[in-house]
Amino acid sequence: MSASPTPTRPPFLTAEWRTLAMLNYEVDPGVLTPWLPAGCELDPWQDKTLVSMVGFRFINTRVMGLPIPWHRDFDEVNLRFYVRRKVGSEWRRGVVFVRELVPRAAIAAVARMVYDEPYLALPMRHRIDPGPGLPRTVEYGWRFRGTDCHLRVTTSGGWKPLEPGGTAEFITEHYWGYTKRKNGTTSEYQVEHPPWNVMEVADSEFICDVEGLYGSCFTPYLSAKPHSALVADGSPITVYQGSRLIS
């Protein structure tokens, strides 16, 4: 099982990421070319190119060590894919975001300004219905162009540690973020967290204006049955200050 690499830059943001619902879809690699940052290559899973719809709770958020009033706890839903970058003999395995949804305009504005990340502020909600001490239904919803959308999963079983070499380990253990900036350069930042426990998903539903939010190229893939799905318990996390890569 992999582990977060030793950080090399000061922290920018600390928080907790909790109750992460993840639907993973197989796509044609060519679909992701417009978002692939310079210096990175796609990181396939068993010869499959995956994207993930991820909904989760941001809790106890601090920026540069400071809590921001009315912006500490909120939902996020993102569409992401998986990349890697060779640095010497090390592969840095990371994620690239196609779109990130949050409920507050200030959060989206800071993320766009600091990292040039594709954030969009929309009305959002969440529902987590516990079974006996466990989440049984996890739903993250948002409203886009007058339409209610949601990502919903129903879990089965209990929490389990990550299986070495399994799909859940691949999906959850990418510790770098990469962004293709508007000027063509690449931003790189590091994320640190311990390995998460995961829970199996018995059923899932994804209702969304895919074309409006992500582009028509994603419609056939995100309308299909997911390749896999899971819920992760989450943990405290640290996002470190980013750097601009020299091409």
* Residue in 126, 193, 129, 136 with CA at minimum distance from that of residue 159: 136
Report which of residues 109 and 200 the model is more confident about: 200
Interval 174-194: pLDDT, tens: 999 999 988 888 999 999 999
In a domain, 172, yes or no: yes
Would residue 99 count as lying in a domain?
yes
Q: What is the pLDDT of residue 240?
A: 93
> How far is 80 from 13, CA to CA, in rounded Å?
20
DSSP state of 120: E
Contact 145/101 with Cβ under 8 angstroms?
no
Q: What is the CATH number of the domain that holds 200?
A: 2.40.400.10
The answer as to whether 2 is a domain residue is no
The model's confidence at residue 42, banded by pLDDT at 50, 70 and 90, is: very high
Over the stretch 11-32, which tens digit does the pLDDT of each residue have?
Answer: 888 999 999 999 999 999 999 9
Stronger pLDDT, 104 or 138, i.e. the higher one: 138
Tens digits of per-residue pLDDT, 219-238? 999 999 999 999 999 999 99
> Residues 6 or more apart from 83 whose CB is under 8 A from it?
36, 37, 40, 41, 42, 43, 93, 94, 95, 96, 178
Report d(CA 140, CA 109) in Å as an integer: 21
Looking at the domain assignment, is residue 73 inside a domain?
Answer: yes
Number of domains comprising the chain: 1
pLDDT-based confidence at residue 66 (cuts at 50, 70, 90): low
DSSP 24-67: EEE--GGGGGGGPPTT-EE--BTTB-EEEEEEEEEEEEEETTEE
Beta bridge partners of 213: none
Determine what percent of the chain is predicted with pLDDT higher than 70.
89
Q: Which residues of 11-38 are buried (b: 16+ CB within 10 A; e: fewer)?
A: bbbbbbbbbbbbbbbebeeebbeebbbe
In a domain, 90, yes or no: yes
Q: What is the pLDDT of residue 67?
A: 64
Q: Specify if 175 maps to a domain.
A: yes
pLDDT at residue 246 in the model: 66
Give, in degrees to the nearest 5, the angle at Cα 197 between 242 and 192: 15
Taking only Cα atoms into account, the Rg of the chain, rounded to an integer number of angstroms, comes to 17
Say yes or no to pLDDT of 126 above 70: yes
Tens digit of each residue's pLDDT (9 = 90 or more) over 46-57: 999 999 999 999
Indicate whether 98 belongs to any domain.
yes
Distance CA 140, CA 147 (A): 14
Query: For the chain, what is the mean pLDDT?
Result: 91
Which residue, among 126, 138, 131, has the nearest Cα to 157 in the 3D structure? Answer: 131
Query: Does 168 reside within a domain?
Result: yes
Q: Is 173 exposed, middle or buried (0-12, 13-18, 19+ CB in 10 A)?
A: middle
| Model pLDDT for residues 141-185, shown as the tens digit of each residue | 999 999 999 999 999 989 999 999 999 999 999 999 999 988 888
Domain limits at 153? 13-241
**What is the reported pLDDT for 27?**
98
